[in-house]
Structure 1
Amino acid sequence: MGENDLGEFLRARRAGLTPDEIGLPAEFGSGRRVAGLRRGEVAQLAGVSTEYYTRLEQGRARQPSEQVLHALCDALRFDDIERRHLFALAGGAAGRQDRTDHPVRLRPALRQVLDSMELASAFVSDRNLTVVGGNALWALLFPGVAELPRQERSMARWTLLDPRARLVWCDWERVARDYVHGLRLAAAAQPRNQRIANLIGELMMRSPEFPAWWSEHRVRERSTGLKRLRHPVAGDLELQYEIFTSVADPGQSLVVYTAQSGSPSEDRLRLLASWGSEPARS
């Protein structure tokens, strides 16, 4: 994370809005020399002075009040995810100690859940976005990830750095951007997490696309959706994914890929599952 992520996030979101989108009169859009809204317009909508808002964007005003943050969220038309992200950048999560100083182990109960899924590809990731365990079908579906050393076993890292990922994901750019947006959220929620900071640094150095996408300050949290894959053995697959957070351990999330019942993708998953039954080791 940078020294002025809050200001850069506000600036990026301000540049992405037009006067028409927020209901300003049409004359506000004439003769404009800046992309998006002006600082003064955002300040007026939020009920703060232009000088104070300018200091916020420049990183010279620290720890704005909750009232100001809510007003900025309303002025910039933030959704729930963007609103939570802004509060995290403003220090809402800074006082919490990030628990990254000890290895995360996959709980036995979650391991049992993984191994019981015969026609679902499933894995568990920790708060560092590292895969701590996956079932046999996940290892067969994503062998490039399963074979990585534990410290490097990240779906985001693999997607953005391994050239083979571009062949696996049919919509590689969309998937890669989603991981960048999710990484933004994780970094803001865990500002002291050195593992996530190291991952961001590595992606900055090694991924051609990452720096530009990161600078957009987009945030998005997906807990369900459809992904299209091309497996060298099973062929094309359309899989629905769901993400579940463990109540017993909120730091671990279970990600499950399933195919629609009776679909060609289900038949292809069944074929892939027949290759072997050795569970992926965490």
Structure 2
Amino acid sequence: MTVTAGREPNPDLRDFLRSRRARIAPEEIGAAAHAGRRRVPGLRREEVAQLAGVSVDYYIRLEQGRNLHVSTEVLDAVARALRLDATERSHLFDLARPQRADGRGSGGGGGNGHGHGHGLGLGLGLGLGLGDGLRDGPGHGPGHGLGHGRGHQPGSDPVRGSAPGTVRAAGSTGAAVPQRVRAGLYRVLDALDGTPAMIMGHRLDVLAANRLAKALYTDFDALAHRDRNLARFIFLDPAARELLADWETGARGAVAALRLYAGRHPYDPALRPLVDELSESDEDFRQWWAAHDVLEYTHGTKRYRHPVVGELALEYESLTLPDDPDQALYLYTAEPGSPSEEALRTLASRTADALHPNG
């Protein structure tokens, strides 16, 4: 992974493009009859170049990360040739035009041709919509649409302190600015006493969670700051494998969400240690990281096997904060009249009883 932005060559751009052309069968473009022997799966580079309407040499230089000034028109043509969805297209632009330390792109005609909105949009909800497919298309699928970016709020609650999420400040040479959650947002979380709610930030960091969200997942506030992270929970906490009804779908989604984040925040100094730790700890993470899939989800369904209330399915919605697009509020609700609603109500009651044992 490249976590510092791109001088040539650009291995992340190279590997992403290779992975996307590898998944397209030659038969899909009518190339099988005259393709000859193929040493690698999927399309050849010259076939992608032909589909995109560029020279083979130009595409090879692009795939090798040796063309830092590629135009919007060419990137769009490559995206169409490789049949990228909207999230993958956005990721292609990020990789082809990596952000510099001062927050500006590396150049290329006409701008990026896309906007990040709520940053990462990571599809995680700890279960990441368990049961949905990884590639349901932009804006749908398994997990959160986590909002990620800088999110420095100097007016945060001094008692609760800064949240764990950090990203390098614009123009800096390495200092990390912690993400902070405004005091008013903590009050919003506390007011939602019957609804699990969390605020998410960079790298799947859990910036804040109300009592019911912590009862549903884990008490993130009791963890060290660096451990308040959904990816760490999913891969490193054995409880996650019991809680998530489809752990593999959630875990694959977490990896793909981090991939998307890496393209958008190549200078985040905390990303590399996280990826290294998870790669060293889990073989699945290593394999899925190498797949270069990306996710950006905003709503969906998650299913759980909770140790206290049993099975339940919750719908989640991601709401990007208007004054900080790098943080997002996640709300989890159950279908009215369903067994999941009753289970959630029971969990809320037991959480309240634990907080006020004498009534």
Q: TM-score, normalised by structure 2?
A: 0.72
Question: Which of 346, 350, 354 pairs up with 1:271?
Answer: 346
Match of 1:70 in 2: 76
Match of 2:261 in 1: 186
- Does the C-alpha gap of structure 1 residues 25 and 105 become closer, same or farther in structure 2, counting only changes over 3 Å? closer
Letter in 1 for 2:337: G
Does the 8 Å CA contact 2:98/2:263 hold for their aligned counterparts? no
TM superposition shift of 1:147: 2.9
TM superposition shift of 1:151: 1.9
Does the 8 Å CA contact 1:231/1:237 hold for their aligned counterparts? yes
Q: Secondary structure at the match of 1:185?
A: helix
Match of 1:238 in 2: 313
Cα distance in 2 for partners of 1:102, 1:39 equals 41
TM superposition shift of 1:47: 1.4
Cα distance in 1 for partners of 2:203, 2:289 equals 18
More helix by share: 1
Letter in 1 for 2:14: G
Match of 2:298 in 1: 223
The alignment covers a number of residue pairs equal to 277
Unmatched 5+ stretches in structure 1: none
Across the aligned residues of Structure 1 and Structure 2, the Cα RMSD in angstroms comes to: 1.9
Cα distance in 1 for partners of 2:203, 2:244 equals 23
Letter in 2 for 1:93: Q
Letter in 1 for 2:322: V
Letter in 2 for 1:65: S
Q: Secondary structure at the match of 2:250?
A: helix
Matches within 5 A, 1:253-268: 253-268=328-343
Cα distance in 1 for partners of 2:34, 2:13 equals 26
TM superposition shift of 1:102: 2.6
Matches within 5 A, 1:161-176: 161-176=236-251
Q: Secondary structure at the match of 1:198?
A: helix
Does the 8 Å CA contact 2:199/2:327 hold for their aligned counterparts? yes
Unmatched 5+ stretches in structure 2: 3-9, 105-148, 151-166, 168-175
- Does the C-alpha gap of structure 1 residues 268 and 53 become closer, same or farther in structure 2, counting only changes over 3 Å? same
Q: Secondary structure at the match of 2:231?
A: helix
Matches within 5 A, 1:104-115: 104-115=179-190
Cα distance in 2 for partners of 1:227, 1:238 equals 6
Q: Quick one: percent identity of the two aligned structures?
A: 45
Question: Which of 87, 97, 107 pairs up with 1:91?
Answer: 97
Q: Secondary structure at the match of 2:202?
A: coil
Would you say 1:152 and 2:227 are equivalent positions?
yes
Q: TM-score, normalised by structure 1?
A: 0.91
Cα distance in 1 for partners of 2:49, 2:63 equals 11
Cα distance in 1 for partners of 2:92, 2:99 equals 11
